[in-house]
Amino acid sequence: MSVTAPDLTYRFATPADVGAVAALIERAYRGAEAATGWTNETDLLVSPRSDADEVGRLVADPDSRFLLAEAGGELVACVLLQRRGEECYFGMFAVDPRRQAGGVGSAVVAASEDAARRLWSSQAMSMSVISLRTELIAWYARRGYALTGTSEPFPFGDKPALRTDFDLVHLRKQL
Higher pLDDT among residues 174 and 159, named by residue: 174
Neighbours of 124 (CB within 10 A): 16
Whole-number Å distance between alpha carbons of 59 and 170: 24
> Residue 174 in 3-state DSSP?
strand
Give Cβ neighbours of residue 152 (< 8 Å, ≥ 6 apart): 128, 167, 168, 170
Structural domain spans, the chain: 8-125
Averaged over 119-132, what is the pLDDT? 96
Among 21-25, 28-32, 71-75, the least confident range:
28-32
CATH class held by domain 8-125: alpha beta
Averaged over 33-62, what is the pLDDT? 79
pLDDT of residue 50: 81
